[in-house]
Chains A and B, each alone.
Chain A
């Protein structure tokens, strides 16, 4: 019999779910102008964000240990809700422009956000699985939302690969259950610590890792990413390249740090290798891209590698807290910067879907200095250049890697950053140093998105203290 406390742990998720169901019906029965749906979606997200902030400091588990609410989940949930708000803001003008304005966009987005939040709160592998499905299925639909060939191809590809990766997760969960007779994270670790090392457990954990590796798109499980990111409506790409990645990492962090610290000796080299490979492949392949969506897709792969770096020393009790905090910090930096960059891409995309080549950015700075300056900030942040959040984030990440003794990994990280500078600079070169005549679409929501994220990217990097505090208190996994 659940107690009121159980509901308290999930309060924001429950409120948002109810709101989403109501909105779904309101949208089909009452609302004619879809802008109203957008506003109501944003309102629901903001309300939930407020409720999430009220949870700060609390720490409970609920529903017989199926879910947990702690600093970590609150941090991730707040981040996901901000991502949801940004996702609504960039979508509003975009789906109107591309003639695919339907209210379902917003409800699907909300369902996905609910899945992402649950993901961070799951304390049981079964919950992880349900949350994973809840966040993924709306994204499959969203990827195919504009219903042109590319978009549908992206949707199908994402769906097939998504289903495939979910299979890995489920199989991994089954093996872990076979090895430990439980799906609860705490019971798994309790069992694993009291018994002899089990190969079955390691294989199960590895399969779960593979499943999530697909979700967060790290090499060699990244092949779907460029096609899906390129084909999906740009607003959806912006949302899923941030939200799904954050959710995937959140689940990985929780599952591995709570349930699998015993097998960290086996896992750390694998994680280190994947991280290094991802940074190298993502950045090097991005160099040869001429389409901005594809380039940013590879860039997001590369960034998954950086974030994964924070995660490598997860079993080392001395540095794991710091490392995870650095990962969280970087997720925030990545989320803000990435959304900003995609907002600019959306502004430049034309109605017919052109305006996505790098050469289409030529001459932007002359006519629209503000957008160009914002894009410059995002590119510098993605390189990891001061004065941006990306630089502080990388500083933190590399320190964590060095503390964990992974000097080579940190070295690969900085060298691939250098490679990445090459292709990010190309955007800046086009905007400032070549002639051209682009006409970005102006929309209040979109303008606000890129201007606020740009300002935040710079200002937070100069006063990052509060974010450091948040990130380092958020790692107290219950």
Chain B
């Protein structure tokens, strides 16, 4: 019992209770299943708030440890070890926060095999929380790989027309990265005789200093970890799975994919690459900054060229996550803090974008930008909310996106590790380009003459309606955070600052 009542264990595995309950429900009782899933995810969110209340933000170390010996034979030194610190607490909250929202978004969108859908979704939540909390690399790897399975089903069963292709591509791409990480984890495990982070961090400096692990090997290990994370982020040029997965995924899948799964990649860089391989991180910083910059510009440019609104948002993710990577590898407090905040921002803003796109798609069943137009007059509320979210995504001052991107650029300009202000300078162009494609999309869809789809919908007897109460409730929490982070980001920065300082202290700068 003591094991299960650990706050982190309880939070991570609570969705399994919902899974068990749903497992024994009749698949025809769709609304009961939906309510069960929603309530489960809300309780999980409440538990995560309880976790947050116990969290001491002034403490830079791992907290609320749930640590038990797991496999302690044959030279394995594996623990079941969950803990949270300033780097992960916000991401964990983001996960538990976005899950109920996503479930709400499927209320009427998913009618087919609701039971399976909810089971997979709750399993996904377990995996995601686990990734952010696991402090033992073996456990981390299990959670990391496990998240793939439910997401694969979500895309493959409830996705769009090319869902099979997208699902398999998503699975194989991600797995390709993680298998290299697997070898690196094993290698580190052999060298340090441990798999948990604190022990590894304690032993690695000696191994580096004594030359037991030479700089070249350190770089190879860094690359092996980076392969897994860079594909997940995704960094240019490893991003090509993302548009397919996003376009084909159901709305809830897209929200979680953009909101949380991509953050697992950037989080991985922050948690593992920076601290385990500090020298390699410093050496690789310019290269990664270059790739990030290309990603920012490339993502923004390609976004502009899209005719499919979901694809547009998907490519904008490539651009936004380029900023996150740039901030992380600025390797200074501003850059990393900005990056971490931008992870949250992107989760909220892009999650909201996918949510809103999903809401209109549910009515019209098309994502072609050109068939829309003049929506503002018919659906003013939807238009206003979309405008706020769009502005947040392009980084308007006063909204959340601006805070994150500005801090990142600030960090990148002054970064010793990157070594040149040019990356930041060019990246700043990305902000302007974001304004172009976002406003272009908004203008085409909401302003101007009425699009053909509006007439079509009327003809078929389903005129396009504005948001209903459920949809407003779904999107409202996201709006609150858009404004909160935009206007008063200090509490968020305060939570992460001590942990970031601790990471920076490890780096040989």
Contact = CB atoms under 8 A, between A and B. Distances in A.
**Direct touching of A and B (C-beta under 8 Å):** yes
A386 B70 CA distance: 16
B435 to A, nearest CB: 39
Nearest to A419: B172
B143, B149, B152, B183 pick with most chain A CB within 10 angstroms: B183
Interface in B145-195: 145-146, 148-149, 152-153, 156-157, 163-164, 167-168, 171-172, 175-176, 179-180, 182-183, 186-187, 189-190
A399 B142 contact: no
B113 A395 contact: no
Nearest to B187: A402
Contacts of B167: 429, 433
B138 A395 contact: yes
B148 to A, nearest CB: 8
Contacts of B72: 465
B182 A472 contact: no
B186 A402 contact: yes
Given A385-B145, A387-B146, A399 B190 contact: yes
Interface stretch (A56-64, A130-138, A288-296, A409-417): A409-417
A109 interface: no
A469 B171 contact: no
Contacts of A425: 152, 168, 171-172
Interface in B45-63: none
B141 interface: yes
Given A398-B186, A410-B183, A432 B149 contact: no
B122 to A, nearest CB: 15
Contact of A391 (B116, B145, B164): B145
Given A386-B145, A429-B164, A411 B74 contact: no
Interface residues of B, number: 37
A50 interface: no
B73 A472 contact: yes
Given A386-B145, A402-B187, A465-B72, A418 B172 contact: yes
B71 interface: yes
A297 interface: no
A429 B146 CA distance: 17
Contacts of A325: 74
B75 interface: yes
Contact of A380 (B149, B156, B182): B149
Nearest to B76: A468
A402 B190 contact: yes
A325 to B, nearest CB: 6
Contacts of A191: none
A468 to B, nearest CB: 5
A325 B65 CA distance: 32
A398 B116 contact: no
Contacts of B153: 432
User: Which of A365, A407, A418, A434 has the most chain B CB within a 10 Å cutoff?
Assistant: A418
Given A399-B189, A425-B171, A472 B74 contact: yes
A370 B483 CA distance: 46
B118 to A, nearest CB: 13
Interface in B461-486: none
Contacts of A402: 183, 186-187, 190
A394 to B, nearest CB: 8
A396 to B, nearest CB: 8
B66 to A, nearest CB: 15
B142 A391 contact: yes
Contact of A386 (B71, B146, B183): B146
A101 to B, nearest CB: 36
B179 A418 contact: yes
Interface in A358-414: 365-366, 369, 380, 385-387, 391, 395, 398-399, 402-403, 407, 410-411, 414
A464 B75 CA distance: 14
Interface in A77-94: none
Nearest to B148: A385
A403 to B, nearest CB: 6
A322 interface: yes
B350 to A, nearest CB: 26
A329 to B, nearest CB: 9
A322 B74 contact: yes
A454 to B, nearest CB: 14
Given A425-B168, A433-B163, A468-B76, A418 B176 contact: yes
Contact of A414 (B141, B142, B179): B179
B157 A433 contact: yes
A429 B168 contact: yes
Nearest to A366: B113
A433 B183 contact: no
Contact of A468 (B74, B138, B176, B186): B74
A421 interface: yes
B74 A432 contact: no
B150 to A, nearest CB: 11
Interface pairs A-B: 4 shortest CB-CB: A414-B179, A386-B142, A472-B74, A468-B73
Given A398-B182, A429-B167, 6 more contacts: A399-B190, A402-B186, A422-B172, A429-B156, A433-B167, A472-B73
25 contacts: A385-B146, A385-B149, A386-B143, A387-B142, A387-B146, A391-B142, A398-B186, A402-B183, A410-B186, A421-B175, A422-B168, A422-B172, A425-B152, A429-B156, A432-B153, A433-B156, A433-B157, A433-B164, A465-B70, A465-B73, A468-B73, A468-B74, A468-B76, A471-B74, A472-B73
